Amino acid sequence: MVGSFFRLAAAGVVCALLAGCASEPERGYGSVYGGGQISQAAPLQCVPYARAQTGIPIYGDAYTWWNQAAGRYARSYEPSQGAVLVLYNYAGQERAHLAVVRQIVSNREIHVDHANWLDDGTVYTDDPVVDVSPAGDWSQVRVFNPRTRAWGRRIYPVQGFIGPGSESAGSNIEVAQKPRDLDAIATLLAQQDIGDDDEIEGLQ
């Protein structure tokens, strides 16, 4: 009887451990997973949030920011702290999202602060983003989902990074003047399942 009790107790411990492993989020990319903090501030769109965080006085929908920044702010295909990450043309040319680079973790991972990522007006800070492009050129990324505590399944095309300085300050201006073939990237991404749980906002 006592032996049976201990066997049942041991089985219970094993089941608890297995349950804990099963709830662990997928961690196929990156190195830091403590980010993606959720703020309960008043609902915000990504454009006014990015503008307030960086002081870059660009207005209008997110998909217009890259062209509006030409000749005014540094535009680069490489991330830098304080720059605005522009996700673009992932579901049509008028679908875009802005996030502010908070930290450079490695040549393939950054953390960002952004609003309305999950189309709920919430502000997410210290949210990991990883470069998954074949060439390692930050043309395609995955974003960590703070609510599910797992990497989003979608891959998003990156138009580039704006700022944080003016165009006259330097940065990789010459590189950024060569437009990426976002149409080809968008065609590839259109084959993704549109029912993924990391769907983000529409127009700003």
CB 123 within 8 A of CB 49: yes
pLDDT tens, position by position, 34-63: 567 777 667 899 999 999 999 999 999 999
Strands 109-115 and 73-76: unpaired
pTM: 0.73
The structural domains of the chain, ordered by start, are: 34-189 (3.90.1720.10)
d(CA 71, CA 20): 52
Residue type for position 188: L
Pick from 150, 199, 127: which is nearest to 29 by CA? Answer: 150
pLDDT tens, position by position, 116-130: 998 889 999 999 999
Angle 68-126-119 from CA coordinates, rounded to 5°: 60
Maximum pairwise Cα distance, the chain: 82
DSSP 105-155: EETTEEEEEEE-TTSS--EEEEEEEEE--TTSSSSEEEEEETTTTEE-S--
Query: 3-state DSSP call for residue 161?
Result: strand
Residue type for position 125: T
More confident residue, 16 or 100: 100
Query: What's the average model confidence in pLDDT over 167-195?
Result: 56
CB 84 within 8 A of CB 56: yes
pLDDT of residue 126: 94
More confident residue, 27 or 48: 48
pLDDT of residue 24: 31
